[in-house]
Structure 1
Amino acid sequence: MKLIVFGATGDVGRMITSEALSRGHCVTAVARKTKPLADIPGLFERADADLLANPGRATELITGHDAAISALRPPQGREPQLVDLTRAVLGGATANDVPVFVTGGAATLKLPDGSGHTVLSAPAFLPDSVRPIAEACAAQQALLDPTEGVAWFHLLPPPILIDGPRTGTYGWGRNTLVTDAEGTSQISYADFAAAMIDLVESPPPAPMRGTVAWQ
């Protein structure tokens, strides 16, 4: 497959790019500045793009690809930009009639304690430092939900993403946190990337939203 990854220099985007290359896919890696991708092994295309300044650039770049993957994350202090960044990729995927796979956040996932609270709504669950990106991820979900005209897939990570091994083993869920035997909901960037490419290679009926974590 010919895949395009937006946000390819971020923690998730780099791993998704590497995972796709390791499986033999042709990859175009997109970021505001692609120089940090120099240490990723393998042959792939690189494209610089500022989607906030030129959202139409996404349409140009997605042309000719089989699927678009968004791993975009704005810098700290600019978290609300996530919605506009996601909108740009959605618009580009719609214009090219290709499926789009979006990295979300854990904000709207329910706690497994039956309280009905989500990661975002549960009292004292999130540190104040991460609430802005959690709120932006909830707004991203609100953008996706009514979107029609394009096949979209929204993969939500657990609250804890860590540098760690690629085990290739993880559990899938829908709208509730997936936890391990100790009640922790986490996954490595490498395994989250593997799950994303699994989804790209064998997508269920769209639209789809789900989550993955170690069990």
Structure 2
Amino acid sequence: MRIAVFGATGLAGRAIVTEALARDHAVTALSRRADAAASSERLTVHALDVAEESTLDPVLADADAAVLTIRLAPGEEHRLAPLSRGFLDAAARSRTRVLVVGGSAPLRSPDDPARLVLHDPRRVPEAWQAVAQASLDQFRVCQAHAYAGWTYLSPPAVLAPGARSGAYRRGGDTLLTDARGDSHITAPDLAIAVLDELENPGDARHFTVAQA
């Protein structure tokens, strides 16, 4: 499979590229500060700004699937939703399947199914509100878009560096927690879930994962 990873130098993006290459896929890794010299036999590295929508078309047209996993600088979070809309516009033109690695804010709280994680202060403290709101806005953009070729993966409350255990739990639209009430996963294990979904797409348009 030819997979384009947008946001390839981020925490999740790097792990997704590594997992995809380990599974013998051809990967195009894209980010604003990419080093083309890092390209290899099955890895093509390009510098690209998702905000420049016209540059997306040739990359998406050459991919079987695309992963959008971008994070913006503090104060720029409000740009995530319109950037995602433009990305889906481009994906619609090429009919490229898109997996968006977003945020946990659109999930339901495990403590109160009527409440989104965004509105659960135990899960999203005040300092994280802007980032969380941006991920909910991004999810709403996906829901409202005319192109149906997208899937939205909400990570658990904490996505962190760590070892690849080789296992994860998959859920629906409710935040997954462990026996202590924690919600977390390492980036390499999240990447396993991403590649599993790309290789064998499920029926859900929105799902979450957590550490096994």
Give the shorter-chain TM-score range. over 0.9
Q: Could you list the runs of 4 or more consecutive aligned residues of structure 1 that deviate by over 3 angstroms after TM superposition?
A: 40-43
1:213 and 2:199 aligned: no
Matched residues in 2 for 1:175 and 1:115: separation? 10
Does the CA-based 8 Å contact 2:25-2:42 persist in structure 1? no
- Give 1:48's aligned residue: 47
- Give 2:9's aligned residue: 9
Does the CA-based 8 Å contact 1:9-1:37 persist in structure 2? no
Deviation at 1:82, TM superposition (A): 1.0
Aligned counterpart for 1:79 among listed residues 77, 80, 83: 77
Aligned counterpart for 1:133 among listed residues 114, 117, 131: 131
* Structure 2: stretches of 5+ with no match in the other structure: none
Alpha-carbon displacement from aligned partner over 1:2-41 (angstroms, at most 9, x marks no partner): 0100010111111111110110000001111102994x98
Does the CA-based 8 Å contact 1:109-1:175 persist in structure 2? yes
* Partner AA of 1:50 in structure 2: D
Residues 126 and 36 (structure 1 numbering): CA distance in 2 closer, same or farther, change over 3 Å? farther
The structure with the largest helix share of the pair is 2
* Partner AA of 2:12 in structure 1: V
How many residue pairs get aligned? The number is: 212
Deviates more, 1:43-52 or 1:69-78: 43-52
Residues 94 and 161 (structure 1 numbering): CA distance in 2 closer, same or farther, change over 3 Å? same
Cα-Cα RMSD? 1.9
Matches within 5 A, 1:33-182: 33-35=33-35, 38=38, 43-52=42-51, 54-114=52-112, 116-123=114-121, 125-182=123-180
Deviates more, 1:11-20 or 1:140-149: 140-149
Matched residues in 1 for 2:98 and 2:113: separation? 32
Does the CA-based 8 Å contact 1:109-1:119 persist in structure 2? yes
Does the CA-based 8 Å contact 1:177-1:211 persist in structure 2? yes
Deviation at 1:149, TM superposition (A): 2.9
Deviation at 1:115, TM superposition (A): 5.5
Percent same amino acid among aligned pairs? Answer: 35
TM-score by length of 1: 0.91
Does the CA-based 8 Å contact 2:35-2:46 persist in structure 1? no
TM-score by length of 2: 0.93
Matched residues in 2 for 1:63 and 1:46: separation? 16
Does the CA-based 8 Å contact 1:59-1:91 persist in structure 2? no
* Structure 1: stretches of 5+ with no match in the other structure: none
Matched residues in 1 for 2:106 and 2:211: separation? 19
